[in-house]
């Protein structure tokens, strides 16, 4: 194999921070944009026309012009009052003088000074040979996050409530975000921060005692009954306000570690955990630790003491609050003041105080460098104030500040474009939604493949139904609302899970037709991609890296969904245009390799979304 660089010239590639080719498949670049950026920067720094302020700004290019484009020459030329086209020509000459092998990389200039980088068919083929397995992809991708210690806070549901459709998004988005980060090399802690402490327990304990209910006798229907008891207790309090005093008294007893109320509370928490664990198993959601709000109730005093000592917190109307006057809507001068209330008037802790204690615990115990919170959009103000408070607190106490991110999302809407609910106006129960997904998927699979045994059709329907619900959620930009539609999400046409699962099964069928599932073709014998559709598919495959980086950086799985849908379409065009099992050995080898790599990337991408691929549908 030839080297990308026939001669290195005066550029010290190692010092530039990227790998040069030495003729071995082990040195094929993975992150092409990063390497082009480093190569261009190292070339520019050797030229008198550039100084250290020059940034190449490498991006994916319009496919008509190349694979990647360096855009930084134009703004640099403008700020230095020089001709951008002439400057680009000098930079390209410098790069060519460094010995870039034209059999691997072509450079052109477009317009007033855009530099286009186009990788040749030989390079595309060698890239596909180098990254030939899931292990190879993951090993290379691990450099993107490089062992960064990251806490992912999800799904974090409230206890004593049945899982409903509102729990779908934190489970599905949280699992995908965690998988993305782990694939990119992050050391994650998946923390299920349960809402297991608060005023609702006073109401619930009051109702349980009033009805003389023994929780240990409830059996499998325990959680639905607890959910109903809380709603009935809340209604009783509205009808009979004097009951609120009884509920408050029960809550105070719980907060003071009364044995009876503590035992009731613990049973409620255990029932809730078991119910969610069953849903997690069905949804293929994994958590590492479950540290609910109750875990931090003996840790909030330290927060109060420190914030008062450094002058960050102050009393306001009996509560302990933090003001952020630099943000108008959080300022004390606002018409409707909205401080960060970290302790209630009665001295009780709240969501804010336990969240502050949680940040400190995650820093101390997990050495967190990054913390990612997943909730809906209604909590955006809370997290902005939490992050502002944490930054000021940690700065004044000399603590390292983890990167803090709030991953939020819009609502799931029904056909009427209003929040998706039952006909009676209740939240759709997640259990009922998943059961309906299986039932509808079974009908679709039976219609498509009536000849399959029923047991196999039900197994396929289990995967297709749950995957369709997940994918419908993930394929939408998470910060936008989306309309839930059974017809759309179970369709085999368009950007859906059934379409992608079928695309995977279709490629598996190609190999099942070969002798023993293998044809014995050595990929080393594969000739460089040649036809228009082969080249287009190879380019789409290496584009996986850029999409992976974007999805992991923005914490938006829909980028992966869009890419997989486009990749499946590109493969379909290739497969329809170019016969795979031809007699010519090098051609057959490269086309089978393209099939294998498409299968690899499709399956890898689906698993990043929390979807298990199928070999047959």
Q: What is the per-residue pLDDT for 424?
A: 79
Phi, psi of 413 (to 5 degrees): -105, 155
Domain holding 596: CATH number? 1.10.730.10
Grade residue 519 by pLDDT with cuts at 50, 70 and 90: low
> Are 112 and 156 in a shared domain?
no
Residues 508, 562: Cα–Cα separation, whole Å: 22
- Which residue has better confidence, 64 or 268? 268
The answer to whether position 479 is within a domain reads yes
> Are 248 and 369 in a shared domain?
yes
Q: What is the per-residue pLDDT for 1?
A: 33
Query: How far out from the chain centre does Cα 401 lie?
Result: 22
Phi, psi of 421 (to 5 degrees): -140, 170
Average pLDDT over residues 455-465: 96
> Are 92 and 206 in a shared domain?
no
Average pLDDT over residues 560-586: 97
Q: Would you say how long the chain is, in residues?
A: 617
Residue 285 has pLDDT above 50, yes or no: yes
Residues 231, 237: Cα–Cα separation, whole Å: 10
Closest by CA to 249, choosing from 215, 203, 195, is 203
Residues 37, 16: Cα–Cα separation, whole Å: 10
Domain count for the chain, please give it: 3
Residue 513 has pLDDT above 90, yes or no: no
Q: What is the per-residue pLDDT for 101?
A: 80
> Are 212 and 318 in a shared domain?
yes
Structure letter (DSSP) for residue 19:
P
Q: What is the per-residue pLDDT for 102?
A: 86
Residue 275 has pLDDT above 80, yes or no: yes
Pairing between β-strand 187-191 and β-strand 370-376 as defined by DSSP bridges: unpaired
Structure letter (DSSP) for residue 195:
B
The answer to whether position 419 is within a domain reads no
Residue 440 has pLDDT above 80, yes or no: yes
Q: Which two tokens stand for residue 299?
A: 């840790």
CA angle 24, 67, 527 (to 5 degrees): 45
Beta-strand ranges (E) seen in 13-124 are 58-60, 68-70, 105-110, 114-119
Does residue 282 contact residue 276 with C-beta atoms inside 8 Å? no
Examine the fold and report which residue of 409, 440, 455 is the final residue of a domain before the chain moves on.
409
Average pLDDT, the chain: 92
The domain in which residue 528 lies consists of: 430-608
Domain holding 226: CATH number? 3.40.50.620
Q: What is the per-residue pLDDT for 566?
A: 98
> Are 225 and 107 in a shared domain?
no
Residue 3 has pLDDT above 60, yes or no: no
Residue 443 has pLDDT above 50, yes or no: yes
> Are 241 and 354 in a shared domain?
yes
Grade residue 184 by pLDDT with cuts at 50, 70 and 90: very high
Residue 517 has pLDDT above 80, yes or no: no
Beta-strand ranges (E) seen in 493-587 are none
Residue 75 has pLDDT above 80, yes or no: yes
Query: How far out from the chain centre does Cα 344 lie?
Result: 35
Three-state secondary structure call for residue 95: helix
The answer to whether position 138 is within a domain reads no
Buried b (16+ CB within 10 A) or exposed e, 330-341: beeeeeeebbbb
The answer to whether position 418 is within a domain reads no
Grade residue 617 by pLDDT with cuts at 50, 70 and 90: confident
The answer to whether position 66 is within a domain reads yes
Which H/E stretch holds residue 587? helix 585-608
Does residue 117 contact residue 100 with C-beta atoms inside 8 Å? no
Q: What percent of the chain has pLDDT over 70?
A: 94
Task: Give the residues across from 4 on adjacent strands.
Answer: none
Q: What is the per-residue pLDDT for 64?
A: 87
Examine the fold and report which residue of 350, 380, 409 is the final residue of a domain before the chain moves on.
409
Q: For 187-240, what is each residue's pLDDT tens digit?
A: 999 999 999 998 899 999 999 999 999 998 888 789 999 999 999 999 999 999
Sequence-ordered list of residues with C-beta below 8 angstroms from that of 123, at least 6 positions apart, any chain: 4, 28, 103, 104, 105
> Are 536 and 392 in a shared domain?
no
The answer to whether position 139 is within a domain reads no
> Are 376 and 495 in a shared domain?
no
The answer to whether position 561 is within a domain reads yes
> Are 434 and 405 in a shared domain?
no
Q: What is the per-residue pLDDT for 520?
A: 60
Grade residue 105 by pLDDT with cuts at 50, 70 and 90: very high
Does residue 526 contact residue 125 with C-beta atoms inside 8 Å? yes
Q: What is the per-residue pLDDT for 414?
A: 93
Residue 117 has pLDDT above 60, yes or no: yes
The answer to whether position 363 is within a domain reads yes
Domain holding 76: CATH number? 3.30.1360.70
Highest mean pLDDT among 34-43, 88-97, 366-375: 366-375
Residue 460 has pLDDT above 70, yes or no: yes
Structure letter (DSSP) for residue 289:
B
Residue 253 has pLDDT above 70, yes or no: yes
> Are 54 and 195 in a shared domain?
no
Residue 8 has pLDDT above 50, yes or no: no
Q: What is the per-residue pLDDT for 526?
A: 95
SS3 content of the chain, % helix, strand, coil (to 5): 55, 10, 35
Report the predicted TM-score, pTM, of the whole model to 2 decimal places.
0.92
> Are 84 and 163 in a shared domain?
no
Other C-beta atoms closer than 10 Å to the C-beta of 534 total: 21
Does residue 69 contact residue 115 with C-beta atoms inside 8 Å? yes
Grade residue 545 by pLDDT with cuts at 50, 70 and 90: very high
Q: What is the per-residue pLDDT for 462?
A: 95
Grade residue 13 by pLDDT with cuts at 50, 70 and 90: very low
Q: What percent of the chain has pLDDT over 90?
A: 87
**Sequence-ordered alpha helix ranges (H) in 350-379:** 351-366
Ramachandran category for residue 503: left, alpha or beta (phi over 0 → left; psi -120 to 50 → alpha)? alpha
Closest by CA to 370, choosing from 149, 56, 524, is 149
Q: Which two tokens stand for residue 589?
A: 């080898």
> Are 102 and 179 in a shared domain?
no
């Amino acid at each position: 194999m030839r080297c990308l660089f026939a001669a290195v010239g005066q550029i010290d590639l190692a010092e530039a921070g990227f790998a040069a080719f030495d003729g071995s498949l082990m040195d094929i670049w993975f992150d092409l944009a990063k390497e082009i950026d480093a190569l261009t920067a190292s070339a520019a720094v050797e030229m008198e026309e550039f100084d250290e302020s020059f940034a190449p700004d490498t991006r994916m290019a319009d496919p008509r012009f190349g694979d990647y484009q360096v855009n930084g020459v134009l703004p640099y030329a403008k700020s230095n009052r020089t001709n951008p086209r002439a400057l680009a020509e000098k930079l390209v000459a410098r790069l060519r003088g460094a010995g870039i092998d034209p059999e691997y990389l072509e450079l052109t200039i477009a317009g007033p000074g855009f530099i286009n980088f186009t990788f040749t068919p030989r390079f595309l083929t060698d890239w596909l040979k180098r990254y030939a397995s899931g292990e190879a992809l993951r090993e290379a991708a691990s450099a993107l996050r490089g062992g960064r210690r990251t806490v992912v806070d999800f799904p974090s549901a409230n206890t004593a409530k049945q899982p409903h459709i509102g729990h779908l998004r934190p489970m599905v988005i949280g699992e995908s975000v965690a998988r993305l980060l782990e694939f990119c090399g992050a050391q994650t802690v998946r923390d299920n921060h349960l809402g297991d402490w608060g005023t609702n327990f006073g109401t619930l304990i009051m109702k349980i005692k009033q009805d003389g209910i023994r929780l240990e006798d409830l059996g499998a229907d325990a959680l639905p009954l607890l959910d109903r008891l809380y709603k009935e207790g809340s209604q009783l309090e509205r009808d009979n306000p004097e009951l609120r005093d009884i509920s408050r008294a029960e809550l105070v007893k719980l907060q003071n570690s009364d044995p009876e109320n503590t035992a009731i509370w613990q049973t409620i928490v255990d029932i809730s955990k078991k119910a969610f664990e069953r849903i997690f198993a069905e949804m293929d959601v994994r958590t590492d630790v479950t540290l609910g709000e109750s875990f931090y109730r003996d840790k909030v005093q330290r927060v109060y003491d420190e914030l008062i000592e450094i002058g960050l917190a102050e009393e306001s109307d009996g509560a302990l609050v933090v003001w952020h006057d630099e943000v108008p809507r959080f300022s004390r001068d606002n018409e409707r003041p909205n401080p960060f209330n970290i302790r209630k008037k009665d001295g009780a802790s709240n969501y804010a105080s336990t969240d502050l204690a949680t940040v400190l615990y995650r820093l101390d115990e997990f050495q967190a460098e990054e913390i990612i919170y997943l909730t809906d959009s209604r909590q955006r103000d809370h997290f902005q104030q939490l992050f502002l408070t944490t930054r000021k607190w940690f700065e004044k106490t000399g603590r390292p500040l983890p990167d803090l991110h709030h991953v939020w999302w819009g609502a799931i809407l029904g056909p009427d474009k209003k929040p998706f609910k039952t006909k009676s106006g209740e939240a759709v129960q997640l259990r009922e939604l998943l059961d309906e997904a299986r039932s509808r998927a079974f009908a679709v699979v039976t219609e498509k493949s009536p000849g399959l045994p029923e047991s196999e059709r039900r197994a396929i329907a289990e995967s297709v139904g749950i995957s369709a619900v997940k994918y419908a959620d993930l394929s939408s930009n998470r910060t936008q609302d989306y309309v839930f539609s059974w017809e759309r999400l179970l369709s085999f046409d368009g950007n859906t899970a059934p379409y992608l699962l079928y695309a995977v099964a279709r490629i598996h069928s190609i190999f099942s037709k070969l002798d023993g599932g293998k044809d014995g073709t050595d990929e080393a014998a594969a000739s460089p991609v040649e036809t228009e559709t082969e080249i287009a598919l190879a380019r789409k495959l290496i584009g996986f890296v850029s999409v992976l980086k974007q999805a992991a950086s923005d914490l938006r799985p829909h980028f992966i969904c869009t890419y997989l849908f486009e990749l499946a379409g590109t493969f379909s065009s290739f497969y329809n245009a170019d016969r795979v099992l031809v007699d010519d050995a090098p051609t057959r080898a490269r086309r089978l390799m393209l099939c294998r790599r498409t299968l690899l990337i499709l399956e890898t991408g689906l698993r990043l979304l929390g979807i298990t691929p199928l070999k047959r549908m």
